[in-house]
Structure 1
Amino acid sequence: MSVVQLEPTRAAWDDQTVSQLLTLARSRSADDRQRLLLRVTSLCETASPPAELAPMLGDIFLTLTAQAERDIRLALAERIAGADWAPPALINMLALDEIDIARPVITASPLLKDADLIRLLIEATLEHQIAVARRPGLSGVVVDAIIDRGEAVTMTALASNRTAQIGQAAMHRLVEQSRRIAGLRAPLTRHPRLNEQLAQELYQWVGQALRQSICERFRIDDAQLNAAIQQAAATSVGTPEWRAAPASRMVENRERAEMERRLVDKLQAAGQLRPGLLVRALREQRLELFEQALAALGGFSDAQIHHGVRAPTAEPLYLACIAVGVDKAVFASLLVEVRKLTGGLPGDAGWTATPMNSHSASRAFRQMMEKPSIV
């Protein structure tokens, strides 16, 4: 591999300089060719080349770059990335080179037009596409092309590009895509072009931590946004917003319910009520005991727990369990047991097991249960 030594710049494109360039151009030595390439680059950085030399310089660049070693191409790409005098054909050649060489050109070259960038999205590697998505000042035409392709990592890079010309229609499409692409959610939450309407839509798919961020940014009442997620969850499972468990699964024996309540009260009075009782109750298929113990442990009402267990999404139950000290790793198996006793509820729609402390989980559960609609 050759060691790249950059030639010192000259003050002007004088006759002596042009003569030296022609001499180097006639040489068949690889070293002379590399010297020629870097000499021309240095001169161009000092002053734009005369118009009469442009065709010759274009041929020199294209011919020598195609033959140059990787380190020479990399040095050249870094030197001319922001130049407006470089031959467009050379810029496009470097933009299609391996990503380390292409990245500075894709990022900074003013000579890459929208058509060139869209060509990279179609023909180049995924790394090249990500570099396009991160390009400062990306036009709306290229933004739409990125979203049209539907590539998750490229759209995520686009969502993190604060200078891209992402209009409201494009933002709406990205928010819609965030339903299936989790990586989009955090950058969209922080995006300067996210408005209140899109924030409410995005709120449906994000975890509790990002919901809090949205609420703080837009000063929207949590209850209003939670109503949106309840509606979205109900729509996704094709059922009313909140539904009761099948009658065959409901505990209707008042005497047994009262017995379970007395047991919970006794354990709580003795300081022996622990989260472990929840697991035990489910293993013994005692759903009423599970619900009453969960309510007592968290200081929740019976109605809140009843609705949380039968919600179209498992998130309310998850929040209630985390609030009383159930380990996140245990919840998945606990959820399986609950669903066995409720005919499949709570549902799967629109929830994520977001890490949080018990206080935050308790607050989030209470907010979500403030105004549940019962059908």
Structure 2
Amino acid sequence: MSLALSSESLLELAKSRSPADRERLLLGIVELCDADDGAVATASARVQALLNSIFLGLVASAEREIRKRLADKLSTAEWAPPALVNVLALDEIEIARPVIAASPVLKDADLIRLLVEATVEHQIEVARRPNLGPGVVEAILQAGEPAVMTALAGNRSATLAPAGMRRLVAAAREVASLRGPLSRHPKLTNELAMQLYIWVGRALRQSLAERFRLDPKLIEAALAQSVQEAHGAAHSNSQGVIVLARDSQREAMEQRLIEKLHDAGQLRAGYLVRALQEGRLSLFSIALATLGRFEADHVQRVIDSDRPELLGLACAAVGIDRSVFPSILEMIRGLNGGRPGGGPEGASRAVGAFGPVNPQIAATAFRQAALSI
């Protein structure tokens, strides 16, 4: 059947109030989006008129899978109606993600509106969008949301001016997740590398020193200055108190982020994997405790223990798949000095925790076992 005939058929379906016809209509629109590019270009005006006249009234009640398929199909369509694309961009994140990432219809004003109105996960996807414009970059920097700034730091195609780069590096003093992507950023200068060097760990210091051939004397001077500043700030307190204050501030920021996601219904098991991929172990711990309604102290003690099977129980309780867990355990060990211990044998025990039990039983088992650590 030709595209024109398909459009006529869809218009006929649009006149029907039958729920079955409405579902056929939505599926037909999805299939229409799969048509040959040349045919779509020719019929785009008619398709847009069709969508504008009927779809916005249906999208709110459409099945999730249909909305998701439509978002996938329209994510690269230049002819897609802007109103429809914006509605899909504000949908739940799994539906919105391809639209935010690639839709040529979304303009800077639309993206800035998402940064203001949408969830943190939507904002992260905006920050990851290729070739991000300077207005959107400035809006991200102004908001100062750590997770969103971290996504921006990893977006090498974003239009990031020198002043913006300096603001990200300055923020890296408190936001540890920024340090890795910034150390690899092509716009990092020698001057900013020296500043970043003071705040990063040993592995990143070595990488920065090799990449920028940093002068050892300048490095020593910078480190001496940072120590002096720390002691100056610790005039009435010990250096340990300062470190604890910074850790407390970081944890409070991460706690607020997780609470935002949880309250918005956007905190899911996949976020745990993403936190570890970004090197944010404490964020993983807070998210796992929140998702499972566990004591935060219990989660931390299990992560630091030699019983990875308890970590497996916690992950099973929040819906993480057995096949994903070995990667999670490996990332945690890499970020936590090899803990939880137990080696390969412990890893096998941990995978065994994903037995034929439901999440409620796994959660109960975790809570009881964590008390003994």
Normalized per residue, which structure has more helix?
A: 2
| Cα distance in 1 for residues equivalent to 2:100 and 2:143 | 19
Q: C-alpha distance in 2, partners of 1:117/1:185?
A: 25
Q: How high is the TM-score relative to the length of structure 2?
A: 0.59
Question: Is 1:77 the equivalent of 2:85?
Answer: no
**TM-score normalised to structure 1 length:** 0.58
Does the 8 Å contact 1:34/1:64 carry over to 2?
no
**Structure 2: which amino acid aligns with 1:178?**
A
Supply the AA of the counterpart residue of 1:12: L
1:17 and 1:207 map into 2 onto residues whose CA distance is 60
Larger radius of gyration: 1
Q: Secondary structure at the match of 1:238?
A: helix
Match of residue 187 from structure 2: 193
Q: d(CA) in 1 for partners of 2:18 and 2:220?
A: 72
Structure with bigger RCO (C-alpha 8 Å, 6+ apart):
1
Displacement, 1:18? 3.4
Tell me what 2:107 maps to: 113
Contact 1:209 1:354 in 2 (8 A): no
Contact 1:208 1:354 in 2 (8 A): no
1:208 counterpart (202, 206, 211): 202
* Residue range with higher mean Cα deviation, 32-41 or 106-115: 32-41
Structure 1: which amino acid aligns with 2:3?
A: A
In structure 1, the partner of 2:89 is 95
Kept in 1: contact 2:183–2:208 (CA 8 A): yes
Q: CA RMSD in A?
A: 2.4
How many Å apart are 1:26 and its aligned residue?
1.3
- Contact preservation (8 Å) 2:88, 2:99: yes
**Identity value in percent:** 54
Match of 1:129 in 2: 123
- Inter-partner Cα distance in structure 2 for 1:120 and 1:68: 22
Q: 1:208: how far off?
A: 2.0
Whole-angstrom CA distance in 1 between matches of 2:104 and 2:175 = 32
Per-residue displacement from partner, 1:77-109 (whole Å, max 9, x unpaired)?
111111111110111111111111111111111
SS at structure 1 position matched to 2:3 = coil
Equivalent residue for 2:7?
18
Total equivalences in the alignment: 234
1:34: Cα distance to partner? 2.2
SS at match of 1:131: helix
Query: How far does residue 31 in structure 1 lie from its aligned partner after superposition?
Result: 2.6
The answer as to 2:151 corresponding to 1:157 is yes
| Distance in structure 2 (CA, Å) of the matches to 1:190 and 1:21 | 51
Change (3 A) 1:152 1:216: same
For residues 206 and 212 of structure 1, the distance between their equivalents in structure 2, rounded to whole angstroms, comes to 10
Query: Which residue does 2:26 correspond to in 1?
Result: 37
**Structure 1's 53 and 160: CA in aligned 2 closer, same or farther, altered over 3 A?**
closer
